[in-house]
Amino acid sequence: MRRSSRSEARARGPARRAEPAAKAPTAAASYRYFPVTPLLLFSDTRTEFRVYLRQGEQYVLYTKEQDHFTDKHREMLHKQGITKVFVNSEQKYLFDKHVEQNLAAILEMDALPLEDRAELLYSTAQFVMKNVFEFRLPDRLNAPTFKRLVDLVTASVRYLDKPGAFKRLSAYISHNYAVWSHCVQVFWYSMSVLKTFKVAEGTLVKCGLGAILHDIGKSKISRDILAKGEKLTDDEWVEMRKHPFYGMAQCVAVPIPHEAAKCIMFHHERMDGRGYAYGMQGELIPMYVRVVSACDAFDALTCDRAYGKAVSGAEALRVMNEDMQGAFDPEVLKRLEAVAKGLGLVQDEGTQT
C-alpha cells in the first residue's frame, strides 16, 4: 500500500476534513467506496454526493454535496495525475441519478473509452428499468417517468450508432432473467436488427420505446405468477396473456408513439396467426413489431427463467426456426442471427464453441 503523496494533497485544493469513519482501508472500509473517473464530474455543476480522494490509508473529502465542481478542480486532478476519485457506497443512488441525468453527454465523450461508456449505459438502463418494475408503477405511466425512458432510449440509440458500440455493450448481457433486464436487452437486440433495415433515428427511438416498454404490463401481474417455476394454471395463463392490455392501459396518460404502442400491444402476435392478443398474422403485423417479437423470444430462450434453463444462442435460433416454424418472419430471423454472430452469441458452423 503506497503512502500519501504531497501531489495528491495539493490536488485537494482547500483543506478539507477527512470523513471520521473512513480510516484504514480494510476490506470492509474499501467496500464503502467505489472509484469513478473525474470525467463524469461535469464542470459548473452541483453534485448531490460527496467526492473523496484516496490518500494512503484514508479517504479524504474533496467536494461535498452542493459544491460546484469547477474547471479548477478538474485541472488540479489532471495536473497531479489523479485518474480516480471515490464516492461513498451509501450515496450510490445519488451517483446513479447523476449519471442518468448526464447520460447523453457522457455517451458522446470521446475521452471516455467506449467500454466505459457501455458499462455506464448498462448500469443506467438497469437503474431506470428496475425503478419502473421494482417500485411498481401507479395505474398510469406518469410524465416524469416517461421522460426518463425517452431520454434513455434516445441516448442509447445514438450510442449504438457508433462502430463497435453494441459489441462492447454485449459484454453486459445477462442470462439470469429479470423482467427489467429482459426489457433492456430486447431493446438493444431490436435496435441492432432494425438498424440493418436502415430505419431512421427518429423511428428507431419510437420503436425503441416500444421495445423497452414491451413488457411494462407485467408490472401489474402478480409476482407469484411471474416467478412460478412450473406450468401455469388455465386461470394464471389467462391473466398472463392480459399483460399487453395492462401495458397499453399504463400508457394512456403519456404521448406514446403509435410505433411504441403497437410493440406493446402486438409483441406476442405470430406470423402464422397463433399468437395473442388478436391472432394477427403475416404482413398485418408491422415489420418493427416482428423484430421486437423475435428479439423478445430470443432473449427469453437464452436466459435462465423460473420454469426453464437458458439455451445457447444457436439453439434458441434453431428452436425459433424449427420448433416454432412459421411463428417468426424468416428475414427478421436471418438478420437476428447475423447480429447474434457479430456479438459472439452464435458461432459460425465449424467454429469451436
Residue 352 within any structural domain of the chain: no
Average pLDDT over residues 25-36: 68
How many domains does the structure of the chain reveal?
A: 2
pLDDT class of 174 with cuts at 50, 70, 90: confident
Residue 284: CB atoms within 10 Å: 13
26 and 67 housed in the same domain = yes
| Residue 43 in grid coordinates | 464542470
Residue 266 within any structural domain of the chain: yes
Lowest mean pLDDT among 19-28, 96-105, 217-226: 19-28
pLDDT value, residue 157: 96
80 and 229 housed in the same domain = no
pLDDT value, residue 281: 95
13 and 144 housed in the same domain = no
Statement: residue 7 has pLDDT above 70: no
pLDDT value, residue 217: 94
pLDDT digits 0-9 by tens, 240-262: 999 999 999 999 999 999 999 99
**Nearest-10 Cα torsion for 291, 297, 303, 305:** 140
**Nearest-10 Cα torsion for 192, 196, 202, 208:** -30
pTM, to two decimals: 0.85
**Who wins on pLDDT, 285 or 346?**
285
Residue 349 within any structural domain of the chain: no
pLDDT value, residue 138: 60
Backbone angles phi, psi at 152, to 5 degrees: -60, -50
152 and 274 housed in the same domain = yes
138 and 286 housed in the same domain = yes
One-letter amino acid of 281: Q
Q: Which of 37, 63, 90 is the last residue of a domain?
A: 90
- Residue-number span of the structural domain to which 106 is assigned: 102-342
Q: Which of 90, 125, 140 is the last residue of a domain?
A: 90
Do 123 and 96 contact (CB within 8 A), yes or no?
yes
Residue 353 within any structural domain of the chain: no
Residue 119 within any structural domain of the chain: yes
Look at residues 84, 60, 212 and name the one whose alpha carbon lies nearest to residue 150. 212
pLDDT digits 0-9 by tens, 127-163: 999 888 876 556 788 899 999 999 999 999 999 999 9
Q: Which of 90, 119, 143 is the last residue of a domain?
A: 90
Do 295 and 193 contact (CB within 8 A), yes or no?
yes
54 and 181 housed in the same domain = no
137 and 255 housed in the same domain = yes
76 and 220 housed in the same domain = no
Residues ≥6 apart with Cβ < 8 Å to 111: 39
User: Crossing angle of helices 179-195/330-342, nearest 10°?
Assistant: 100
- How far apart CA 104 and CA 155 sit, in angstroms, is 5
Catalogue the E-assigned strands of the chain: 33-36, 45-46, 51-55, 58-63, 68-69, 85-88
